[in-house]
Amino acid sequence: MLNVCYLSTGRGEAGGAMACAGCEKPILDKFLLHVLERAWHAACVRCADCRAPLADKCYSRDNKLFCRNDFFRRYGTKCSGCGHGISPSDLVRKAREKVFHLNCFTCLVCRKQLSTGEELYVLDDNKFICKEDYLAGKAPTHCK
Ligand SMILES: [Zn+2]
Ligand SMILES: [Zn+2]
Ligand SMILES: [Zn+2]
Ligand SMILES: [Zn+2]
């Protein structure tokens, strides 16, 4: 589920200051931002994880704002190898309906990175072994 929200700029109201949805302090600035139908200090519209200021578009969950990468890292597809989220900038490999970080798609024995076209053997659904190691009999014995 994607919660994309767009930022829009508004003018602060003289006198009747609104509370910022981020820090809950009144907004006395001339300009403020509207996100999630609430008012924010421009400086408070930051990614909750990396603190990067967010421009025109961001992602939200539980009233927190995230940049695209951190949002996907937290809530996006999980890598079947390491269990961490996959962000749109990560390189991935797909195997048997599962998605892996490039770095997690490696031979169990020699740790070399496997490529999609390469002949490989799958153990326990999310472990891989390259052909050479398999033929050399290095696969763990409980996996047939
Ligand atoms: Zn604030
Ligand atoms: Zn971030
Ligand atoms: Zn991974
Ligand atoms: Zn290997």
Per-residue pLDDT at 45: 95
Q: Do domains 3-73 and 77-136 have the same CATH topology?
A: yes
Tell me which ligand sits closest to the C-alpha of residue 100: 3
Neighbours of ion ligand 3 (CB under 5 A): 79, 81-82, 101, 104
Q: What is the mean pLDDT of each run of 10 residues along the chain (144 residues)?
A: 77 75 90 89 94 90 90 91 89 87 92 86 86 88 53
Query: Domain ranges in the chain?
Result: 3-73, 77-136
Tell me which ligand sits closest to the C-alpha of residue 108: 4
pTM summary value: 0.68
Torsion of CA 9, 12, 16, 21, to 10 degrees: 50
| Superfamily of domain 3-73, CATH level 4 | Cysteine Rich Protein (2.10.110.10)
Find the 118 Cα to ligand 1 centroid distance in Å: 52
| Superfamily of domain 77-136, CATH level 4 | Cysteine Rich Protein (2.10.110.10)
Neighbours of ion ligand 2 (CB under 5 A): 47, 49-50, 67, 70
